Structure 1
Amino acid sequence: MTDSVSSSASPLSFAPGGAVAAEALHAAFTRAFADYLIGPFQIPFEQWPMFLARQGVDLSLSRVALAADGAPLAFAFVAPRPAARRWRLATMGALPAARGTGAAPALLDDVIARAAAAGLEAVELEVFAQNDRARKLYEGRGFEKLHELFGFLAEPGTIAPASLASPVQDAAGQTPRAIDMASALAWLDEAEKRLPDLPLQVTSATLRHGVDYHAWRVGDGDAAATQAQVVFSLPDETVMIHSLVAPRETGARALIQALAAVYPERRLRVPQLQREDLGGSALRALGATAQPLHQQLMRRPL
């Protein structure tokens, strides 16, 4: 199935992502992001299905702009977030030859129109603040910044650890404790109801695909709103924080300092998905360095 969409240049043919051969879609993605701001994406084809799954992509909701010969020119991948009644534009890109043809703006307009027709409340996305071309396109279509999303790095010894003999506690006197991943994912599902502006990548939709992930929590066991949680893995010599959701800074500090105490020889890294009000300010206060390249979480109401 294809849909014809008019642009200022010529009619564009759109097809659902699932109607395009996976090999062709993967090749188009690789070419579109060969000169990306943070470096080229090099995703082996065998890892392509997992990449889409971790991004929450629904290929039936996604659209691909096609050339006359059926080759992909540009694409817009959609990840539904049904609990919040919105779609996330997981990623959008155009092959170099298609840039300036109107394909990407037409795809964006199509996503917005279909989301509105489906009765959703908004479309959201993340974009690097330094990616002026993409950010201006989104702003021109009515997207507004909700949160800055920073990444952080702390080399070993930067963060003063809590004493293992006398572990750091949050304001309620709670000590971080390990929890199983099933409980961690369920906690995140409940957290999304209280904090609807969480980036998808720090929620259970993405984290349930993780391998060898660990989770710690701190706070009153009977009051989820006062709790904080971190999900992390231990690649190489790093503590990689995949999700830090801490509405209270004392909870964030307790978790971060506990990680520094247990893994004193490892650097701590957080990708560019961390909200300031949910742990970012605690990371800064404890000495972690915010990375210059950062993202913005943007939303367009419908």
Structure 2
Amino acid sequence: MDLIKELIEGSRLALARSITAVENEYDNAIDIMKAIYPRTGKARILGITGAPGAGKSTLTDKVVKHYLEQGKRIGIVAVDPTSPFSGGAILGDRIRMNDLTLNENVFIRSMGTRGSLGGLSKKTADVVKLMDAFGMDLVIIETVGVGQSEVDIVKNADTTLVVLVPGLGDDIQAIKAGILEIGDVFAINKADRDGCDKLNVEIEMMLDLDSRELDWRPPIKRTIASKDEGVDELVEALDEHFEYLEDSGELAARRAERTRDELVAMINEQIMRYVHEHVVESDAFKQDVAAVNTRTNDPYSVVNAVLEKSLKR
């Protein structure tokens, strides 16, 4: 396929078209993913998440510029809220990183969540693979700030950076979301605000209460992204975590678990699609619904019968 050949040869247009094909589930999407899969697994994947208003996009912009100075090629997947009117992404993140779009070593793709809980589009993992196969050294996933379901990013990233900001009740939000459990590195952004010391102490206290025996204690770095302050130290902490992952064998373990989760999700999706196409729309299922509704049958028996019949096929 010419598109795949062009993608592998470094055509940015081919990468953009491939992402569009995968995101919209075009007929050639699976063929593209099959062809590029052997070329994946080389890029480092950084997830950036946190509460709305924490300055994630500005901080991402500064982090990317620091890695560009190291000669890295970087892909950015900015997962934005989906417009309730058009269904498209509200491109706030891309606008805030606008000066990066002209850099030939950066490729930014905004994606709408399209109703997906967890702050990530369902196709995010596939887009990361495409950027990986394209030859990016680092792929950054920046998620929409939706609070409690942000924890899904841990399933897609090697290193997860949690961005918090003083004065927004982040201490309570972090505890609610389980964000302290997923953070590998913490950044207190807008650190010139009142309450920075208080937030720092609260995060440290929560880390002290963590009952898990961990070899890596997440560092807490203070940044003022708008002034590019503290970003050097933050990037250094991110690099140290990735080195720890490689040296400890944790990177291989995390990626193996990610592969397992991905396979389970794909199986579930295919089963759901089959059930909707061949069961839910059938006359027999309508009769089952009527039987359950009139109490002449029970839902447990109906579900067992449907599963047995579907899995046999």
- Which TM class, normalised by the smaller chain length? under 0.3
Whichever structure has more helix as a proportion of its residues is 2
* TM-score (norm: length of structure 2): 0.26
- Pair member with larger Rg: 2
Question: Whose RCO is larger (CA < 8 A, sep 6+)?
Answer: 1
Whichever structure has more strand as a proportion of its residues is 1
* TM-score (norm: length of structure 1): 0.26
